[in-house]
Structure 1
Amino acid sequence: MMKTDYKLGALTSVAAAAALLLSGCSLSPTYQRPDAPVAAAYPAAPAAAGGAASIATAGKPAADTGWREFFRDERLQQLIATALEYNRDLRTAALRIEEARAAYNIQSADRLPTLNGTLGGSRVKTPRSVSATGADITSTRFDAGVGISSFELDFFGRVKSLNDAALAAYLATDEARQAAQISVVAEVAKAYFTERAYAEQYKLAQQTYDARARTYQLTQQRLEVGASSRLDLRSNETLMETARVAALTLARQRAQAENALTLLVGQAPASAASGAMASDAAIDAMSAVPEGLPSELLARRPDIRAAEQRLKSANANIGAARAAFFPRISLTAAIGSSSPDFSGLFDSGTGSWSFVPQLVLPIFDAGRNRANLNLSEVRKNIAVADYEKTIQTAFREVADALAARTYLGSQVAAQRAVQDAQADRLKLLQLRFDNGVASSLDVLDAQRELFSAEQSLVQARLLRTTSAIELYRALGGGLK
């Protein structure tokens, strides 16, 4: 037994050493990261008409700013934390990582020999017609041993290239999960502020409806005593019902926004919707994320890193396809013992061994290897195009968000000025109407314009909020 163990240990050591010594050879092309197909700087947006509000950008980069630090609203923080735990897209992404890790482990196992223990027996009858003795012979044999079956000596790096491709695919899946997490954080925040905007607009519409209902009732009373006309009554009724339609529409939109938020979070929120939209100061703080340079996106955005890992995987597969043109050498070896009796299987003198090297040289395969190589090269070119498109998309998203940051601050300020002017106009017309100078139609028109300005201001502030969130996401923020 000691002699057998010695042979087994020597066989295993030689095979493992051969695997390690031969693992450095690879026919994969030397990987070179493609040049980023974008400008060296983001397009400089001109000053917004009327003077854009200046936003300082000396803060912490988005990728270094955790979402708890970026979003200060406590309820929003709770929703994001719940979404990161229960969102089904993130669960699928996490399972994809486990799938890729298992595939990599399977492929990685091919780089080392597989040892199998065997125990078997056979009983064979040889008829007298073919027997050397001219009589029937029945033979019995028992075998036990440990062996290595068809272990490939990776002279040309085929197994190593496949292992590198599987590793890159695994890393790409992990990067994809991180990109999905960033998207979930951003989408939950946008859905939350959208729901809050609808709630604020609904509140304004309901208040406007209540005020116009009271005005309608007063006009109806004035009509009964002849102090008002039927035209005034119908005009007030139109405004009242318009506000009612707006309130009902906003109630429906708010309910749908709550449903969208529930889907993103993965379960019904623990508490009822509350709070208001982000304040102007909070929006200013969110918008003050420094954009940095486009080259920084290569290291900051997980989707770009995932595209590069897919490119590396395609590059490694070319090495495996090239290696298929060269001879493939495999070893099959076993050490054990054989005996005609099971009880004497491990007795002295029963030791046995086998050593079966095999060389397979491709001669004719009807162009299969050439087609596989062409396929690998085409897939690499596709991966290059996908990588470049991912960078261009990221560049465009950041540029769009920066353009929105440049203009939306001034747009919100201008819309607020419109609302203030409409409110003051309504007060002046109401005063003139009370003094008999202005007509009721002028007052009704001012009320309608003020309501429209109030709704537009909420929408402008929501647009500025979501653009700040999109800039944060586009720059790689929201992972921590």
Structure 2
Amino acid sequence: MRRVSLIAAAVSVIATGCTMAPKYERPLPPVAASFPTGGVYETQPPGAHNANGVAAADTGWRNFFVDARLQQLIDIALKNNRDLRVAVLHVQAAQAHYRVVRSELFPTIGAQAGQSKQRTPKDLSFLDQTISNQYSVGLNGAWEIDLFGRVQSLRNQALAKYLATAYARKAAELSLVSQVATQYLQVLEADDLLQVTQQTLKTARDSYGINKLKFDNGTASELELSQSQTVVESAAANFQAQERARAQAVNALVLLLGEPMPAEMTGGMPLDDQHLLTDIPAGVPSDLLTRRPDIMEAEQNLLAANANIGAARAAFFPSISLTGSFGTLSPSLGGLFKPGSAAWSFAPTITLPIFEGGQNMANLDLANVQKKIEIAQYERAIQSAFREVADGLAARGTYDQQIAALTREVSAQQRRLDLSTLRYKQGVDSYLGVLEAQQDLYSTQQMLITARTERLSNLVSLYQALGGGWIEHTGDMPREADAPVAASAG
């Protein structure tokens, strides 16, 4: 039954000149028609630096990131990052493979010249001529007539794989822009944490000095002295851990850059002044199909699997090859181009599979299963993209309120510390109240810095999730997925 259906498909191929690959139909996106709205998904009001309704894919990374130092780092990474360089080389390799497969659609023609010398036993020779010579010069050619679209299907598969590799390279570039920005924010976060820790350490040492003087004078207990020392040692330990974290964050950033950190750079902005775009429109999930290179990569892999079915089907039918040659033959070198020395040959060949131990049927079954796998991978890519955007929108709708609440808490904790210190100095409360206030203030300050970093990192991730980071300036013409990184205009 399956062979009958394949024969019917072959008749259709011959009539239309197409391949035997099944008609491609893009799977329906397995997600909701719109992103979640309301509640935590409410978009924040635009700030002084807003997107003006421009989609992420059309927003240049220099317009999204306003920090001149960060822009310089991204520019360096795009030119020197080794992972991106490998991705570009994979594209070149896939392109070369595509050209190799495409060449099989055309005839091969070659020139040849040769001499053959043969000795025949005397009793078998003609007129006692035991040595014979033959000289030849001519052209030979071969061509497989792709009657059932096997070679064309393989060509389509190679093209789709090439495009998938190009989109993978584009996804790697978007990811690199996002990674550099996120890592840069980690360095700025470490700077802010070190500043807070230094301030806390100074205050703790001042308090310890006062308590040490009181203890030496007999007006403070050893318990109060030990309590003040715990704050000093805790802050000192945190300071070393944060110094280490900052150094490691810089090392990670250098790895992304692909070269040592430049000695001279344009002045950067502190964490609080990183005014990233907060109101980039999310659009609808169907927009992701043309804006997310990872989704387009998955679809090209699906198209390649679809084309492979055509090649597997064509293997059930005859293959027709034409080979021939034209030139001259002569028993002597001087007679090669004399009249009457022309020679030619023509040898068409038809090969029909009769018994192959089930190999062709197994290849077809394998091709069908691989297509089902690629369909699932494509749908998974869409679902993952939907989740990433939805997560980004949920975070964008809550971080501002969280930061505002933490800012108020820091003010309240600072006031609490001031009052606790005053009450301790007046002898109303013990030093334990000051100790708890110091620790709570320090903890809240760190939470505020972390929340600010996470808010900015989320905006960067959302920018990438919506397809942003491919063009340098808003309004630039988008490059093709296999195009090199454009020279920076600053």
Give the TM-score normalised by the residue count of structure 2: 0.89
CA positional deviation for 1:71: 0.7
2:306, 2:239 → 1: CA distance?
58
Q: Secondary structure at the match of 2:328?
A: strand
* 1:214 paired to 2:206: yes
Q: Secondary structure at the match of 2:283?
A: coil
Aligned to 2:164: 172
8 Å contact from structure 2 (residues 317, 353) kept in 1: yes
Aligned to 1:8: none
Distance 1:91 1:324, change over 3 A: same
Aligned to 1:461: 452
1:313, 1:319 → 2: CA distance?
10
Aligned to 2:34: 41
2:44, 2:57 → 1: CA distance?
25
Aligned to 1:191: 183
* 1:249 paired to 2:245: no
Aligned to 1:61: 55
1:148-178 deviation per Cα after TM superposition (whole angstroms, max 9, x unaligned): 03x1011111111111111111111000000
* 1:73 paired to 2:64: no
- 1:141 pairs, out of 130, 134, 139, with 134
1:101, 1:53 → 2: CA distance?
44
1:444, 1:326 → 2: CA distance?
86
- 2:374 pairs, out of 365, 372, 383, with 383
- 2:86 pairs, out of 76, 85, 92, with 92
1:212, 1:252 → 2: CA distance?
22
Distance 1:22 1:138, change over 3 A: farther
2:16, 2:78 → 1: CA distance?
40
8 Å contact from structure 1 (residues 193, 277) kept in 2: no
Aligned to 1:12: none
What runs of 5+ residues in structure 1 fail to find an aligned partner? 1-20
8 Å contact from structure 2 (residues 409, 444) kept in 1: yes
Q: Which moved more, 1:197-206 or 1:97-106?
A: 197-206
- 2:150 pairs, out of 140, 144, 158, with 158
CA positional deviation for 1:55: 5.1
Q: Secondary structure at the match of 1:279?
A: helix
Aligned to 2:331: 340
Aligned to 2:271: 278
- 1:426 pairs, out of 389, 394, 417, with 417
CA positional deviation for 1:29: 0.7
* 1:127 paired to 2:157: no
Aligned to 1:236: 228
**Matched length:** 454
CA positional deviation for 1:59: 2.6
CA positional deviation for 1:45: 4.6
Letter of the 1:97 partner, please give it: V
Letter of the 2:310 partner, please give it: G
- Give percent identity, aligned residues only: 44
Give the TM-score normalised by the residue count of structure 1: 0.90
Q: Secondary structure at the match of 2:338?
A: coil
1:420, 1:129 → 2: CA distance?
118
After superposition, the CA RMSD in angstroms is 2.0
Distance 1:53 1:384, change over 3 A: closer
Letter of the 2:57 partner, please give it: A
8 Å contact from structure 1 (residues 29, 315) kept in 2: yes
1:343-390 deviation per Cα after TM superposition (whole angstroms, max 9, x unaligned): 221222211111111111111111111111111111111111111111
Q: Which moved more, 1:390-399 or 1:437-446?
A: 437-446
1:52, 1:288 → 2: CA distance?
7
1:33, 1:424 → 2: CA distance?
61
8 Å contact from structure 1 (residues 426, 443) kept in 2: yes
Distance 1:339 1:393, change over 3 A: same
